[in-house]
Amino acid sequence: MAVLISAVLPIALVALAGAWIGRIFELDLQTLARVNIYVMLPALVLTSLTETTLAFGNAIAIVAAFLLNTALLYLLAVGLGRSLKFSPDEQKSAIATTLFANVGNMGLPFVLFSLGEAGLERAVLYLVVSSLTIASLFPIVLKGAGIRTGVRLTLRLPVFWATLAGLVLQALGGALPQAIERGVALLGSGAIPIALVMLGVQLSRTQFAFGYRELLGAGLRLVVSPLSAYGIGRVLGLEGLDLQVLVLQAAMPVAVNSLIWVTELGGDKVRVARTIVLSTLLSFLTLPGVLWLTAL
């Protein structure tokens, strides 16, 4: 119980602070998002990959499990959309809310507070692969923009180059100069609190009105996704901390940034926003349960 409280309470407190300040001031979320995505998050990724102790084989297994789970969830979202006769915009929204998990704003702090630095290393790896996959595939899946557009988006993300630099330094056994390392670490330390404040601000701006489709979207993210991730992880031989982080990240609510993608590429923005709120609120109940079950 102490671990659950230490994992959930800090997240809730910072998110509540974001909700409070979001009610008082008209904050520009797009600016906050850009600062986090283009500056702080790449710094966190570079620091984590440079200092990681995660074995290469374990990292490959986690990446493979994520990709297989993503493919399975995509097929499930498409199949449900067709069987329920969703409109094209509703189908896009269902895909976005099913695939795009909040593995940054919620995932990183939850794993850090519950599983420590070793867990955070694995959570950052999951975040990097998720971010690059989403940036590459979402323009193709949601807008039919083609592979070239997806690749261009990926190459424009600083997190891609931070990942590449971190992997090169890790492979060569090198390290950043101390002065640079301290600056990068300082920037990276701001990624998690800023992300949680953004989460709170977004929650304060979304209306609480839910129907069966929002419940379905939340259920796919909070229940179906971790169950399928667990099964895939076991088949691939993952166990211990690797399996815990995989399942916990797969159990995260719908990402706030999914609304940005749907706005840009098409979809039902209102339904996506409501699913984000519902899944986030329910995750404060489901995530402690998932953490407890993965620890058995």
User: Do residues 232 and 249 lie in contact, with contact meaning Cβ atoms separated by under 8 Å?
Assistant: no
Nearest alpha carbon to residue 205 among 26, 10, 14, 34: 26
For residue range 165-211, list pLDDT tens digits in order: 887 887 777 778 888 888 988 988 887 788 778 778 877 877 666 77
The answer to whether residues 176 and 184 touch, using CB atoms and an 8 Å cutoff, is yes
CATH number for the domain formed by residue range(s) 2-294: 1.20.1530.20
DSSP 3-state percent helix, strand, coil across the chain (nearest 5): 80, 0, 20
Q: How far apart are CA 177 and CA 8, in angstroms?
A: 36
Distance (Å, whole) CA 159 – CA 58: 21
CB 286 within 8 A of CB 59: no
The continuous run of DSSP H or E covering 94 comes out as: helix 88-99
In tens, the pLDDT along 13-62 reads 888 898 899 889 888 877 887 787 788 878 887 887 777 777 778 889 99
- Interacting residues of 53 by C-beta distance below 8 A, sequence separation 6+: 118, 121
Phi, psi of 254 (to 5 degrees): -65, 135
Contact 295, 19 (CB under 8 A): no
**What is the mean predicted confidence (pLDDT) over 237-243?**
93
What is the per-residue burial (b if ≥16 Cβ within 10 Å, else e) of 71-101?
ebbeebbbebbeeeebeeebbbbbbbbbbbb
Q: How is residue 237 annotated by DSSP?
A: T
- Tens-place pLDDT, residues 243-253: 999 999 999 99
Name residue 43's amino acid.
A
Enumerate the domain spans of the chain: 2-294
Report residue 95's pLDDT band, with 50, 70 and 90 as the boundaries: confident
pLDDT recorded at residue 229: 96
pLDDT of residue 64: 94
Question: How does pLDDT run across 104-129, given as a tens digit for each residue?
Answer: 778 888 898 888 888 988 998 898 88
- Could you tell me the two tokens for 11? 């997240």
